[in-house]
Structure 1
Amino acid sequence: MNAPIDARAFRTALGAFATGVTIVTTRGPRGEPIGNTVNSFSAVSLDPPLVLWSFGKRAYSFKSYLSADHFTVNVLREGQEELSRRFSRSLDDKWVGLDYETWDTGCPVLPNALAVFECKMAYTYQGGDHVIFVGEVLNFDHDPTGRPLVFWHGDYRLMTE
């Protein structure tokens, strides 16, 4: 029988994989904007256009995402570290003083995002202490000249060419 995996060491090893940083947004049960920093974003399929992300079951806004029909993935760019930090905390009012727009689904689209994917909820899958959300992309936009915000070994990093 294998020895149990040390959770802290496992998390540190996962940090060796550099990721982009996103803020996934939706609307809560009363129409309020919901948003959380997520780095578990990935493409799934080009035809149909599908993306996925995962979120912890213990998160305060977890039930809002689980019951949502739509979500938007806002890919952050270099210089948006503070926005990422803001949406990674369990604050009551992450939206105070923040301008945003909405597209067809009404989910918040953050200003100056490097890329935006507006999605219809397609599937959810159980994944241990997380749920994996798969969305069908309905609309998207991106800035082909921008540079992504990167997270690696527990901190934000700048890309070098």
Structure 2
Amino acid sequence: MDQYVDGNASLREVMSSYPTGVTVVAASERADAPFGLTVNSFTSVSLTPPLILVCIGQTSTLHDRLIASDYFSVNILAGNQGAVADRFAAEPSRERFEGAAWQVGTFGVPIIDGATAWLECSRYELLEGGDHTILIGRVEHSAVTGRDALVYHRGSLSPSR
């Protein structure tokens, strides 16, 4: 029989038991001023029209800039990009792209080199979700590289294979 540690586990503890992919959500106010953050609350919403969502913490220093952006990218990190995930989660926001390899996408948003896949999205809708803002994006352009993905599970990052 399974052992239960606590019948009232926090939602954070419960959700850390659910493996997720890891993304960097990014935008740019100018071609030379990209900004982004690590996000693992990401999912598809609809195939027709093609919609995805990401959840952005309202206390994030980039929250207001990101939700005000007309376009943004979702970069699904590859299994060997744990350092990229850490950098975009911890570094001061102005330093996250320093030394990072990236390109400007079709819609002027940052595309991180080496990602397993990426999407360029236009802002479709914003919803309040407790202490997060749910940013729904319409997928305007996307690509898949076929690399294995980075996975977050129980507080650790690891390749999907």
Instruction: Give TM-score scaled by structure 1 length.
Output: 0.89
1:90 & 1:56 partners in 2: Cα distance?
16
Where does residue 101 of structure 2 map in the other structure?
99
2:29 & 2:129 partners in 1: Cα distance?
23
Given that 2:34 and 2:110 are in contact with CA atoms closer than 8 Å, whether structure 1 keeps it comes out as yes
Cα gap change, 1:33 to 1:120, in 2 (>3 Å): same
Give the percent of matched residue pairs that are identical in Structure 1 and Structure 2. 30
Output one character per residue of 1:46-77: Cα deviation in whole Å (capped at 9) or x when no partner. Answer: 11110000011111011101211010000001
TM-aligned CA deviation for residue 158 of structure 1 = 3.4
Given that 1:43 and 1:52 are in contact with CA atoms closer than 8 Å, whether structure 2 keeps it comes out as yes
Runs of 5+ unmatched residues, structure 1: 1-5
TM-aligned CA deviation for residue 159 of structure 1 = 2.9
TM-aligned CA deviation for residue 157 of structure 1 = 2.6
Given that 1:60 and 1:90 are in contact with CA atoms closer than 8 Å, whether structure 2 keeps it comes out as no
Where does residue 137 of structure 2 map in the other structure?
135
Where does residue 84 of structure 2 map in the other structure?
83
For the residue of structure 2 that corresponds to 1:48, the secondary structure is coil
Alignment of 1:1-161 (within 5 A): 9-28=10-29, 32-91=33-92, 92-144=94-146, 146-160=147-161
- The farther-off stretch of 25-34 and 128-137 is 25-34
Runs of 5+ unmatched residues, structure 2: 1-7
Where does residue 3 of structure 1 map in the other structure?
none
